[in-house]
Amino acid sequence: MNRTSGQNGGVNRRIVARFRQAIASLVWVSVSAGQGERVGAQDAAPGDAFGFSVAVRDGVLAVGSPTNDAAGNDSGAVYLFQRGAGGWEQRAKLSASEAKPGDWLGHSVAIAEGLVVAGAPLADPAGSESGAAFLFAEAAGEWVQVQRLTASDAAAGARFGFAVGASSGVVVVGAYQADGGRGAAYVFEQIAGVWEQTARLVPPSPSVGSYFAQSLAVGDGVVAVGSMGDDGAGVDAGAVHLYVRDGGGGWEFAETITADDATPGALFGASIGLDGGVMVVGALAGDSGPFTGAAYVFRNAGAAWVQEARLAPPAPAPSLYFGRAVAIHGAMAVVGSYRDDTGATDAGAALVYEENGGAWPHTATLLATDPNQGDWLGYAVAIDTGVIAAGAHGDDDNGPFSGAAWVFERCRADFNCDGEVNTLDVLAFLNAFASGDSKADFNGDGAVNTLDFLAFLNAWTAGCP
């Protein structure tokens, strides 16, 4: 993030002073921040588990439906949505060209730079449940399969595709049952137009049952691999192993991350979100009761990743499964709590935390507009600028476990996130703007300057729908 120079900072402060005087006479305006939008498949059917996985990036929402019958019983599918005049509209339904019953395509999904990656861990290209992952891209307005990925050492039972991640020309696929249950993650990079395996990542101390690569995340030059059954900090305390680029362009093990308050059975590493130099890790069995859950924020301090915050549900209770899914973008993290009872028993929730001076306070709890028992909203979560997606594959509006996803879009004019658009938002923005805080980079160009000031004023004037 480029901060303002001392000269520009002085200009900013003068603008702030003048604008403070101008807004003193303004009346307060209260505008609803809006509700979430329910997203469903056009051909929704019982048992599809639509919403089991979600990903959102650059205006594209991908929703996995692993038990969809697109090419036979439980072959799986991935649905793509984009925002249209009437809301988030279905643009495509993706199925693998080699699809077979029982593949579970869509168990995992990721999006990066126009590429959709979908895991099919129960596919059988090299034996029963050896697994595969499929790459899709848009061509001439249509989404088409561009390649199928398998491991160089593919073997029955490996479940390659259980987890997938993508970022900056790198795709990583997890196979937590590879090596006889020790697990492995596979890195693919595009070479001469073809995606080829360039690395095979293994845990520093392989052990059966560590669940290495059952979760993973990819950032710029970093691959984070979850191992929720790792025993290094206690039986099933869990860990995250980090791999970085080496001098030759390959990948090497860098360090192992555990929670500062690691405890046996916490299952730290059950989920991972990574954005730039900040990472959030879910520990779905940690905290004050059985499967209450917790999440942890780490920041890259150069020599090592340092724990910055511990996130907990605002009302801890047993069996929330808080941390089953996590995601992070910029200064905002979202944590899924799919058995949260706020809306209804096991209806689920997605909880938002935002960085403020190194702390990460809880700022919002996102619920379905019509929460029902067993919806499991928050089993999967994803985040991009101004957009949070949460899967609810237990939704039964179109039959048992037909599934749904919810999209929550932030009213950017509500800068202080209190649900109203008024002069308090202006003051909050001005304070951030005057200090060069990255939160004031309203137009997302990496600098805090008068262009952000104008962009915020336009949004604030427009209010919220």
* Predicted pLDDT at 34: 38
User: How many percent of the chain have pLDDT more than 70?
Assistant: 91
Which superfamily does CATH assign the domain made up of 37-409 to? Answer: Integrin alpha, N-terminal (2.130.10.130)
Out of 225-234, 363-372, 404-413, pick the least confident. Answer: 404-413
Q: What is the pLDDT of residues 421-441, one digit of tens each?
A: 888 989 989 998 998 887 788
CA 180 to chain centre: 29
User: How many percent of the chain have pLDDT more than 90?
Assistant: 75
Q: Which residues contact 200 (CB under 8 A, 6 or more apart)?
A: 151, 152, 153, 184, 185, 186, 187
* Predicted pLDDT at 9: 53
User: Is the pLDDT assigned to residue 167 strictly greater than 60?
Assistant: yes
Residue 107, sorted as left (phi over 0), alpha (psi -120 to 50) or beta, turns out to be: alpha
Q: What is the pLDDT of residues 118-151, one digit of tens each?
A: 999 999 999 999 999 999 999 988 999 999 999 9
Alpha-carbon distance of 166 to 158, in angstroms, equals 20
The residue type at 138: E
Query: 137 near 112, Cβ under 8 Å?
Result: no
Q: What is the pLDDT of residues 21-76, one digit of tens each?
A: 444 434 333 322 336 899 999 999 999 999 999 999 988 999 999 999 999 999 99
Strand order in the sheet with 132-139: 108-112, 115-120, 132-139, 142-149
Query: How confident is the prediction for the chain on average, in pLDDT?
Result: 90
Q: What is the pLDDT of residues 255-286, one digit of tens each?
A: 999 999 999 999 999 999 999 899 999 999 98
Instruction: Give residue limits of the domains in the chain.
Output: 6-29+421-462, 37-409
Q: What is the CA radius of gyration of the chain?
A: 22
The encoded tokens of residue 228 equal 């929720």
Alpha-carbon distance of 58 to 318, in angstroms, equals 36
Report pTM: 0.85
Alpha-carbon distance of 214 to 283, in angstroms, equals 13
Among candidate residues 96, 104, 106, 107, the one with its CA nearest the CA of residue 144: 96
User: Is the pLDDT assigned to residue 6 strictly greater than 50?
Assistant: no
Mean pLDDT of 336-351: 96
Alpha-carbon distance of 239 to 299, in angstroms, equals 16
Alpha-carbon distance of 261 to 251, in angstroms, equals 29
Q: What is the pLDDT of residues 191-224, one digit of tens each?
A: 999 999 999 999 999 999 999 999 999 998 999 9
**Confidence band of 95 (pLDDT split at 50, 70, 90):** very high
Mean pLDDT of 75-87: 90
Mean pLDDT of 222-243: 97
Among candidate residues 215, 146, 221, the one with its CA nearest the CA of residue 185: 215
* Predicted pLDDT at 14: 61
**Confidence band of 16 (pLDDT split at 50, 70, 90):** low
Q: Which residues contact 252 (CB under 8 A, 6 or more apart)?
A: 243, 244, 245, 246
Distances (CA, A) of 9 to 45, 221, 373, 450: 56, 32, 52, 10
Among candidate residues 269, 273, 298, the one with its CA nearest the CA of residue 285: 269
Mean pLDDT of 406-431: 84
3-state secondary structure the chain: CECCCHHHHHHHHHHHHHHHHHHCCCCCCCCCCCCCEEECCCCCCCCCCECCEEEEECCEEEEEECCCCECECCCEEEEEEEEECCEEEEEEEECCCCCCCCCCECCEEEEECCEEEEEECCCCECECCCEEEEEEEEECCEEEEEEEECCCCCCCCCCECCEEEEECCEEEEEECCHHHHCCEEEEEEEECCEEEEEEEECCCCCCCCCCEEEEEEEECCEEEEEECCCCECECCCEEEEEEEECCCCCEEEEEEECCCCCCCCCCEEEEEEEECCEEEEEECCCCCCCCCEEEEEEEECCCCEEEEEEECCCCCCCCCCEEEEEEEECCEEEEEECCCCCCCCCCEEEEEEECECCECCEEEEECCCCCCCCCCECCEEEEECCEEEEEECCCCECECCCEEEEEEECCCCCCCCCCCCCHHHHHHHHHHHHCCCHHHCCCCCCECCHHHHHHHHHHHHHCCC
